[in-house]
Homo-oligomer: A and B are copies of this chain.
Amino acid sequence: MPQYIIGIDVGGTKVAGGLVDLTARLVKSAVVPTRAEKGFKASFGQIAKLISVLVKCAGGRERILGIGICAPGPHNPQTGLVINPPNLPGWRNIQLTRLIESKFGVPTKVENDANAAGLAEVLFGAAVGYRDIFYVTVSTGIGTGIIIDRKIYHGKNGVAGEGGHVSIDYKSPYRCGCGTLGCIEALAAGPGMARRARVRLEQEHSAPSLLRELSGGHHELISPKMIEQAARQRDPIAREVLDETGFFLGVWLAGMITLLDPEAIVIGGGVARIGKPLFDKVRQTIPHYTINRQFAVKTPILPAKLKTNVGVFGAASLFLPGEC
């Protein structure tokens, strides 16, 4: 009788795995390096090793209900194909579901990490009690997931919900890695924030700023954390950059509300941990960029609840029975 689900979160530098019981309790977790730079075979070896350890912990594969795997980038959940994860350069059109299933003889599902995290927030995170949400994770990139009726919305090709690559400024000077000008990811994710801070430091080159000190004059080292720290100490440039980040996210989320009219928006990821100053600006901006103002102001903008292990929980939630 299966008692556990294995959740695997494949990242660019590490693979996190966990054994989750059917009440969504994490009973065991482990991490191995991804070794992405050594190509797909090396990474697959690492993933397989981690799964083997967790299967053993569970007391054998017959006790595993399923293996859920999440990774960044577009996937095809129908075919289990990982298409082209941006931070796993050696991976291209990998039949990950088939490979894992044939190695372990356990049902396997593969999912985009933001989609899985969004589902996990609905099943046992910030959005418990909601059925239709728009999930956002803001960190090195911006990932999104559309959850409708407590299920991931996949679209025709399984690549729906790539909201981080919707442009809010078609003639922006900032081009995203995906090629699009003015994607919210290019503007408001961590590297975009740091880039805007560097531009301001250059433009206002005679203005004093704590960011110059924090980075030791090496502007290429500026991180969202430094911006947050400087803003907290009322550094004007850092505050402008932070404020602008909230404004950009607000404009973009206003569009998502206008289009999808979700029950709630959940925002997670490292940058979102900045918290109140960012969320306040997001909430202030939304009513100015939507036709559905009277409803938009009532749409809850919630901080994500799942933090560490969100990927493992997200992956496991692909097999967890919902309360539908």
A residues neighboring B (CB under 8 Å): 74, 83, 132, 144, 146, 148, 153-163, 165-171, 176, 178-181, 183, 248, 251, 254-256, 258-263, 288-295, 299
**A158–B259 alpha-carbon span in the complex (Å):** 11
Residue on B with the closest CB to A248?
Answer: B170
Contact partner of A132 among B74, B155, B165, B291, CB < 8 A? B155
Q: Chain B residues near A157 (CB, 8 Å)?
A: 261, 292, 295
- Separation of A288 and B170 alpha carbons in the complex (Å): 10
Asked if A261 and B132 make an inter-chain contact with CB atoms under 8 angstroms apart, the answer reads no
**Cross-interface CB contact of A261 among B160, B178, B255, B259, cutoff 8 Å:** B160
The one of B148, B161, B251, B292 in contact with A170, judged by C-beta atoms closer than 8 angstroms, is: B251
Instruction: List, in ascending order, chain B residues with CB within 8 A of A83's CB.
Output: 294
Task: Say what secondary structure dominates the interface of chain A.
Answer: loop
Known contacts A155-B132, A157-B295, A251-B167: A290-B180 contact under CB 8 Å: yes
With A and B bound together, what is the CA distance between A291 and B256 in angstroms? 17
A295/B159 in contact, CB under 8 A? yes
Most buried by B among A83, A161, A165, A263: A165
Which residue on chain B has the smallest CB distance to residue A76? B295
Rounded to whole angstroms, the CA-CA distance of A68 and B265 in the bound complex is 32
Task: Name A295's closest neighbour in chain B (CB-CB).
Answer: B157
Alpha-carbon distance A109/B315, docked complex (angstroms)? 41
Given the known interface contacts A167-B168, A291-B74, A295-B157, the answer about A162 and B251 at a Cβ–Cβ threshold of 8 Å is no
Q: Given contacts A148-B148, A167-B289, A180-B289, could you give 12 more A-B pairs where the C-beta distance is less than 8 Å? A: A74-B291, A144-B259, A155-B261, A156-B295, A160-B261, A161-B261, A162-B290, A162-B292, A166-B258, A167-B251, A167-B255, A170-B248
Cβ–Cβ < 8 Å partners of A291 in chain B: 74, 162, 165, 176, 178-180, 183
Question: Inside 8 A of A160's CB, which chain B residues have their CB?
Answer: 259-261
Tell me how far the C-beta of A110 lies from the nearest C-beta in chain B, rounded to whole angstroms. Answer: 17
Q: With the chains together, A153 CA to B132 CA distance in Å?
A: 11
What are 13 sample pairs from A and B whose C-beta atoms fall under 8 A apart? A132-B156, A146-B259, A156-B261, A157-B292, A157-B295, A159-B295, A161-B261, A162-B290, A165-B291, A167-B251, A168-B169, A179-B288, A180-B254
Query: A262 contacts which chain B residues (CB < 8 A)?
Result: 155-156
Chain B residue contacts of A176, Cβ below 8 A = 291
